[in-house]
Amino acid sequence: MNTRPTSLRLKQAAAAVGQCSIMRLYDKFFNEYGKTIAQILLNDEDIKVEEKKKNLINTFDSLLDMDIIPIVNENDSVSYTEIESEDKLFGDNDMLSAVVAILCKAQKLVILSDIDGLYDKDPRFNKDAQLINKIESIDEKIQSFAAGAGSRRGTGGMVTKLKATKLATDQGIETVITNGKSPSSLYEIIKGESSGTLFTARNII
């Protein structure tokens, strides 16, 4: 295909082909570190229907218990809502990552951007923009910082990253937004060092 398809049937066909390419790459690179991966494709029913949600959680738990890394994506090849609907459950990979973090009972979520984190102004257009290192509450002022700022790739910008972050932190999951161009930032985060913007988790009683 020379251009992005417009019809639903071709979008779903392209998604099915794309999944093979994506998983081949993940398998190749994780195999170099001796890691086994698995694929999980989600749609809205998997989250909204309680029995399916329970089975999904059991699958995540079993994979992680066996030290297998689940690679998660939206099931675009069969679920038209995630491709066509204006009111998508996930919307983009940022929201998907927050949902998965909650299902897996993760302690920390890392969301990668093409800027270093959340700034008080859009750093692409304001040289005096300041990176905010730590945020304890996502209020209206913090949300206003995200308007117009963020990634130029994919469907999500800083607004959706902040939405995903709020979903995760409200469930007790500490979240970091950092620059995906620098792989070393992941090592810094694992070591507990400062990288990007840290959003503290809400205390869950």
| Res. 121: pLDDT tops 90 | no
User: How many of the other CB atoms lie within 10 Å of CB of 38?
Assistant: 16
Nearest CA to 63 among 34, 39, 81?
39
What confidence tens digit (pLDDT) does each residue in 149-170 have? Answer: 555 444 458 889 999 999 999 9
Nearest CA to 60 among 76, 83, 39?
39
> What CA–CA distance (Å, rounded) separates 104 from 126?
38
- Using a pLDDT cut of 70, give the percent of the chain over it: 87
Per-residue pLDDT at 78? 59
Per-residue pLDDT at 149? 52
Domain 1-89 in CATH: superfamily? Acetylglutamate kinase-like (3.40.1160.10)
Same topology, domains 1-89 and 107-205? Answer is yes
Q: Which fold has domain 107-205?
A: Carbamate kinase (3.40.1160)
Which sequence spans correspond to the domains of the chain? 1-89, 107-205
Structure tokens at 141: 């002022």
Per-residue pLDDT at 83? 47
Task: Give phi and psi for 119, each to the nearest 5.
Answer: -105, 165
Per-residue pLDDT at 9? 86
User: How many of the other CB atoms lie within 10 Å of CB of 123?
Assistant: 17
Alpha carbon 175 to its chain centroid, in Å, reads 11
Element (H, E) at 11: helix 8-31
Pairing label, strands 197-199, 134-135: parallel
> What CA–CA distance (Å, rounded) separates 73 from 96?
8
Band (pLDDT 50/70/90 cuts) for residue 201 is very high
**What's the predicted TM-score (pTM) here?**
0.83
Span 52-73, average pLDDT: 96
Span 28-55, average pLDDT: 93
DSSP-derived 3-state class of residue 175: strand
Output the CA–CA distances (angstroms, integers) from residue 116 to 18, 48, 99, 129, 158, in the order listed.
Answer: 29, 34, 23, 12, 11
